[in-house]
Amino acid sequence: MVTEEAANRQAKGRHESLSRTFILYTLISFGLLGFVFIGIFAKVLWDRELDQATTTTEALFLSAKEPLERAVWSINEESALQIVQGLLSLKAVESVWVETPDTGTYGVKSEIQNKNVIKYDLVSPAIYANSDKIGSVYFIIDRSVIYDQVVSVVTTTVLSIVIYLVMLGVILRAIFRRLIGIPLSSIVTYLQTPRLIEDPPRGELMPGRTDEIGILASSLQTMVGKRHADLKQIQDYQMNLEDLVTERTEQLKKVQEELIQADNLAALGALVAGVSHELNTPLGNGLIAATTITESTGHLKDKIQAEELTLDDLNAEISRIGDASNVIEKTLGRARELVQNFRQVAVDRQSEKRREFNVDHIIRETLATLQPSLKKTPYTVKLHLHANTVIDSYPGAVSQIITNLVENAVKHAYEDETNGVVEIETQVAASGHTTVTCKDYGCGIPEGHLKRLFEPFFTTKLGKGGSGLGMAIVYRLVTEVLGGQISVVSEVGTGTTFTIDLPPAVPASKTAA
């Protein structure tokens, strides 16, 4: 309640200040214009009264001129003084005297000799004969009388203007308060309403007003309504944000798992194709050797039936059959080795069962399955396996990591190169952890790309067969599945080294993806 009263007092104070300022400026403007008008009016009034006094004096003098000229001409001093006293009795005349060259001065001569003196010449009554000048009449207009008249009129006018301005101020204040002050105070009070945006008041702020104030009030209410709607929408977003983030996170994890599974299946497909191609050679050789044995046994059978078999023929065919048997044995052994490696890698990748295995053996088996693909490239993989240790982990994840690292080096490190070497090395650290290092001597990775290397979908081969998941899968398998750590060091033009640290056993909190 105190806050509302303080807000109302502030709004009233601002309203009164604006009203006082408006009225003050208005009255000052009218006052200045009034003073200019009074100055001009006083000057015009002064000039008019002075001209009127001069004209009146001149008219009276002209009526008394002939008698005065006769009195002066006849040297009738008493008559001349009477006429002078008569002219001096005029209200606007301050002083009158007559000067003649022969008889002296009639009346009291004023000591004031300036431009305010009005002079008229007197001539002899026989003007039509000789036009002789017999003297001069001097008048001084009483300016104090004119000044008093002008001051009286101006004072009355000033008082009228002051009364007018006071009444105008009162009327303007009432009009301003009615048309502007009260509406502005209502708008200020509306804007200072507590929780205005959260819970805006209902109803129209300025009903029936279509002028600028009404438009302003309507615009403010519209703006507050929009802010209220925006705030409500933001609050709804905040309430649903956590659920939305959780839902999107689950969807992202699901999509990522599906992409990783698809990548695994694609790798298995490539592995199957490579192994099938590799099996084709030993199986073909075995088929040729078996055909050779069949031909030899048929030849011996024909000789025996014809009783033409000799010792030399027997020895030759036995030697031929022995060579073919050796070929069959070697080719079937090679096929058996390829099938076993493929079966082990495929089973490990698909089943993702945790078991104990030798890290070096898994790496060798994985490289054996990659040989069909690597034979088609000018690149070679050198193994420096010195760990020879057994860990309790997920062999399929290790195989997938090695496959992705080798394929990444072939596709990116030695792009457009005619030869290249990838070195894989294993060692056992003093802590019992197994360190796996994959090193190439290719083009290297720019520093800006290193920070994003393990981000999903980050690839420099977008649109050229790169999915951007290879390194992301490696990072996830190392950190989330195997419970290890991975780091990378690279220098442009020198090469790249990936270092993986694997614990002897997967932590209990880690599970296969």
Does residue 315 carry a pLDDT above 50?
Answer: yes
Nearest Cα to Cα of residue 513 among 464, 468, 475, 486: 475
At how many degrees (to 10) do helices 311-351 and 359-374 cross? 110
What is the Cβ-side half-sphere exposure of residue 346, based on CA atoms within 13 angstroms? 17
H or E stretch covering 391? strand 390-393
Residue pointed to by tokens 């031909």: 295
The token pair that represents 326 in the structure block: 């050796």
**Could you tell me which of 509, 443, 456 has the C-alpha nearest to residue 481?**
509
Site of tokens 């929780």? 195
Q: Per-residue pLDDT tens for 173-217?
A: 888 778 777 787 888 887 888 888 888 887 787 787 777 877 888
Are residues 451 and 464 in contact, defined by beta-carbon separation less than 8 angstroms? Answer: no
Residue 426, pLDDT score: 95
Confidence (pTM): 0.40
- The predicted pLDDT at position 13 comes to 52
Span 251-283, pLDDT tens digits: 877 776 666 666 655 655 655 655 565 666 677
The per-residue pLDDT of the chain, averaged, comes to 78
Exposed/middle/buried for residue 370 (C-beta within 10 Å: 0-12, 13-18, 19+):
buried
Judge contact between 209 and 217, C-beta under 8 A.
yes
In the chain, count H helices and then E strands.
10, 11
Please report the pLDDT score of residue 351 as a whole number: 44
SS3 of 227, please? helix
State both tokens at 411. 């596709």
- SS3 at position 331: helix
Looking at residue 491, the DSSP 8-state letter turns out to be E
Residue 422 CB-density burial (10 A; 0-12 exposed, 13-18 middle, 19+ buried): buried
Task: Please give the C-alpha separations between residue 74 and each of 64, 109, 131, 175, 256, in angstroms, as whole numbers.
Answer: 16, 22, 16, 78, 143
